[in-house]
Amino acid sequence: MPAAKPHAARRLWAAGVLGVVLPTLLFCALALYGALQSRAQYEQRAELLAQNMAGAIDRSVSANLEKIDLALSAIVDHLERQLTVGELDLDAARANVRSQIARRVELEGVRVTDKAGVGILGPDLDRLPVVSFADREWFQVQRDQSDAGFTMSRPLLSKVRQQWIVSFSRRYRTSDGQFAGAVSAAVPLDYLTQQLRAVDLGPHGAVALRDRRARWGSARCRPSCW
């Protein structure tokens, strides 16, 4: 009988240890599970918020770009109608360009080039020596790609006003479908950045606009996110 007492004591000690350790392990497991669930829910909410924010920005920017494209298309149509009956009437074309700029306050200016890339119409061009846009990527794309359509450039330093801009462009054609030149709408980079300031990014948020080739267009970031 005396020999059984140590064995019973050990069983009692083991039961006591298990009674303490198992609840502790269970508590830790539940705490870890709860933390993982909370993190997953937080990530889901953050992802949903980001998707909603991206959708709102996309709709806003797309609406503005559509209006710019309509302005360019109106100028292209006007130029091509003139070319179907003869040479360009620069006075009439100039009046048409000015009317389009007046309707879109965000446009820094509209430039019309000939087929060689020389600017022939646009604000401030009259007071400057000959300005060539032949070295601009947007002009080369319009010249070399007949199906380029409405294109957006990377940020550029304006040759006319010496400010950072993004150029949107379209080509216009002669009566037989040949390349006649390009029409470009310059939008100040500051304007695009201002469009992003209305977005509540939170203390660590950042947002950027890129073109279809993932090239940077404009960005906004709170100082705390750097």
Domain boundaries, the chain: 67-194
Residue 143 binned pLDDT confidence (cut-offs 50, 70, 90): very high
Q: What's the confidence (pLDDT) of residue 222? A: 43
pLDDT for 9 beyond 80:
no
pLDDT(211) > 60: no
pLDDT beyond 50 at 104: yes
Q: H/E/C letters for each residue in the chain?
A: CCCHHHHHHHHHHHHHHHHHHHHHHHHHHHHHHHHHHHHHHHHHHHHHHHHHHHHHHHHHHHHHHHHHHHHHHHHHHHHHHHHHHCCCCHHHHHHHHHHHHHHCCCCCEEEEECCCCEEEECCCCCCCCCCECCCCHHHHHHHHCCCCCCEECCCEECCCCCCEEEEEEEEEECCCCCEEEEEEEEEEHHHHHHHHHCCCCCCCCEEEEECCCCCEEEEEECHHHC
What is the identity of the amino acid at 164? Answer: W
**What mean pLDDT is predicted for residues 20-30?**
62
pTM of the model: 0.67
Residue 147 dihedral angles phi and psi, to the nearest 5°:
-105, 20
Candidate ranges 61-65, 71-75, 99-103, 191-195; pick with highest mean pLDDT: 71-75
DSSP class of 207: E
CATH class of 67-194: alpha beta
Q: Which residues, at least 6 apart from 177, have a Cβ–Cβ distance to it below 8 Å?
A: none
Q: Which of 93, 100, 76 is nearest to 182 (CA)?
A: 76
Confidence of residue 226 (pLDDT cuts 50, 70, 90): very low
pLDDT in tens, 67-102: 889 999 999 999 999 999 988 999 999 998 888 888
Question: How confident is residue 220, by pLDDT bands cut at 50, 70 and 90?
Answer: very low
The per-residue pLDDT for 148 is 92
pLDDT of residue 10: 56
Higher pLDDT, 202 or 161: 161
Continuous H helices in 86-200: 90-103, 137-144, 189-197
pLDDT score of 219 more than 50: no
108-117 pLDDT, tens digit per residue, is 678 999 999 9
Model pLDDT, residue 67: 87
- The tokens describing 25, both together, are 């392990």
How far is C-alpha 163 from the chain's CA centre? 19
Over pLDDT 90: what percentage of the chain? Answer: 28
**Would you state the pLDDT for residue 63?**
75
Q: How far is residue 157's CA from residue 147's CA, in Å, rounded to a whole number?
A: 26
- Please name the residues in contact with 214: beta carbons below 8 A apart, sequence gap of 6 or more: none
Question: Which residue bears the tokens 């965000």?
Answer: 106
